[in-house]
């Protein structure tokens, strides 16, 4: 048996999607899977080195790794009228943060890319672990922060103010969903194995959705203290029909994201979208 290194985060939505593969309810012929669980920014950096066979990445990093990886049509984390949020102690407008320190969860995250698209004024980005940003705002280490993962739900128990939902802003401007994360396969494999991996991923996602309670149990093994229903709510936000198959609209959304980023000089150019479709 050959081994495939498969990178994904321990976040509830990622763990949920990989439940059936982890439990070997779904398998890939002649291959074992070595699950590599790291936070998304660490996986972004590993993708830049090309050292994982299959991995979750931020959509924002794909232009930098497209020479080594192809996108799977399944596995994307997509928000429809919701996404990363910007929090602050004061109820201000986004451009009132001009020149301020804003905590962001990594230089290659889609959250940071979206912030640069929607902040028309210069600001001071402060790179922080995603789960430390609300605390950094509370302690005045930063003036505001971009919140991802389950923090998009749990922040409501704090005294912080939501000044912008980047997914809402994106939907209002583009009428498209926002693709935040992708799953990709290394180009070193032949097309038949790339297709088999993609089909296995789709099957794992479908099984997790059909066996939700069992998959939630698995996801909670890696949770960060969130309760079961918060975990379920977060999973349902980012493991949805777009995750099963991004389709033509998902491809259009990715193209729009990269085109806008290129026009703003955030990335050098919009990459060709090489997507492995579903059978």
Which are the catalytic amino acids? 149
Burial 60-81 (b: 16+ CB within 10 A, else e): bbbbbbbebbbbbbbbbbbbbe
E-strand ranges in the chain read 2-8, 31-37, 54-58, 69-72, 77-79, 85-88, 101-104, 124-127, 144-147, 161-165, 178-186, 275-276
Q: 54 near 187, Cβ under 8 Å?
A: no
Cβ-proximal residues to 172 (8 Å cutoff; 6+ apart), any chain? none
Q: 168 near 81, Cβ under 8 Å?
A: yes
Closest among 264, 267, 216 to 239, alpha carbons compared: 216
CB atoms < 10 A from the CB of 174, how many? 14
Q: 84 near 148, Cβ under 8 Å?
A: yes
104-109-113-116 Cα dihedral, nearest 10 degrees? 10
In angstroms, the CA 122 to CA 124 distance is 7
Closest among 155, 203, 160 to 27, alpha carbons compared: 203
β pairing state of 85-88 and 54-58: unpaired
């Amino acid at each position: 048996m050959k081994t495939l290194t498969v990178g994904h985060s321990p976040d509830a939505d990622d763990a949920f999607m990989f439940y059936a593969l982890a439990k070997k309810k779904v398998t890939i012929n002649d291959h074992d899977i070595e699950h590599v669980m790291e936070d998304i920014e660490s996986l972004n950096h590993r993708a830049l080195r090309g050292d994982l066979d299959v991995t979750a990445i931020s959509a924002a990093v794909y232009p930098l790794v497209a020479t080594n990886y192809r996108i799977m049509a399944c596995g994307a984390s997509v928000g429809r009228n919701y996404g990363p949020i910007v929090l602050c102690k004061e109820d201000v407008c986004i451009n009132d943060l001009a020149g301020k320190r804003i905590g962001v969860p990594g230089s290659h995250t889609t959250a940071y890319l979206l912030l640069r698209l929607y902040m028309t004024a210069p600001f001071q980005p402060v790179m922080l672990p995603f789960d430390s940003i609300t605390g950094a705002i509370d302690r005045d280490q930063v003036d505001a922060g971009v919140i991802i993962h389950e923090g998009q739900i749990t922040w409501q128990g704090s005294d912080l103010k939501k000044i912008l939902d980047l997914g809402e802003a994106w939907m209002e401007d583009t009428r498209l969903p926002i693709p935040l994360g992708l799953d990709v396969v290394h180009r070193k494999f032949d097309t038949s194995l790339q297709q088999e991996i993609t089909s296995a991923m789709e099957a794992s996602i479908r099984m997790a959705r059909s066996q939700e309670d069992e998959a939630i149990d698995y996801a909670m093994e890696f949770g960060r203290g969130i309760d079961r229903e918060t975990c379920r709510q977060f999973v349902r936000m980012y493991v949805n029909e777009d995750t099963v198959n991004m389709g033509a609209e998902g491809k259009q959304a990715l193209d729009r994201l990269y085109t806008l980023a290129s026009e703003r000089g955030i990335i050098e150019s919009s990459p060709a979208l090489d997507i492995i479709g579903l059978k």
